[in-house]
Amino acid sequence: MQIFFLSMPVTILLIFAIWGIVPLLLAYLCLKLPDRFFEPIRFPWRIHGFERGGRIYERVFHIRSWKHLLPDGGGVWKKHSYKKKNLTDYSEANLHRFLIETSRGELVHWLGILPFWVFGLFAPPEVIWIMLLYTLIVNVPCIIAQRYNRPRVYALYQRLYPSETK
């Protein structure tokens, strides 16, 4: 329900500002959470049987044909950056870090869907549906990519470091 009635230019500017600031703020807050929260064996990050090692995402979403088009937000915060685009270091520490960061990235994108309703405070009602559609288009593919990568990397981690598997 619209509470604030702003001019169209101010409304548009506010929409862009919110979509520019909120995802960065969410990513920053998730970086502050301890790594133990994102362990791949914990709910909700654990790998589920229905995912079939990530193959469900290949079959249903054809992820291999579009995954390379997704941006890697891992370098946004330089001090805490971890880029997940290409896995080149197969050490135990790096594979574990990759698993942690896919969980962290998944949380960032789930949380990134939530703010769409804020636009209802200052924009016409139909804008809320546009914002929901926008946030789903932006975040769901990234969530799918994290869910796809995690079981594949976890299987590699288990094969290379069976005694280290947590």
Q: What is the pLDDT of residues 100-112, one digit of tens each?
A: 999 999 999 999 9
Interval 117-143 mean pLDDT: 93
Q: 40: how many CB neighbours lie within 10 A of its CB?
A: 20
**Residue 138 domain boundaries:** 8-160
Residue 52 included in any domain: yes
Residue 2 included in any domain: no
Interval 85-99 mean pLDDT: 91
Q: How many domains does the chain have?
A: 1
Interval 74-97 mean pLDDT: 79
d(CA 116, CA 46) in angstroms, rounded, equals 27
Task: Place 51 in a pLDDT band, splitting at 50, 70 and 90.
Answer: very high
Residue 57 included in any domain: yes
pLDDT surpasses 70 at 15:
yes
What letter represents residue 1's amino acid? M
Gyration radius (Cα) of the chain, Å: 18
Residue 60 included in any domain: yes
pLDDT surpasses 90 at 166:
no
Long-range contacts of 157-161 (CB under 8 A, 24+ apart): 157/92, 157/95, 157/96, 157/99, 160/90, 160/92, 160/95, 161/92, 161/95
pTM: 0.90
Residue 1 included in any domain: no
Residue 166 included in any domain: no
- Do residues 14 and 122 make contact, with C-beta atoms less than 8 angstroms apart? yes
- Do residues 54 and 151 make contact, with C-beta atoms less than 8 angstroms apart? yes
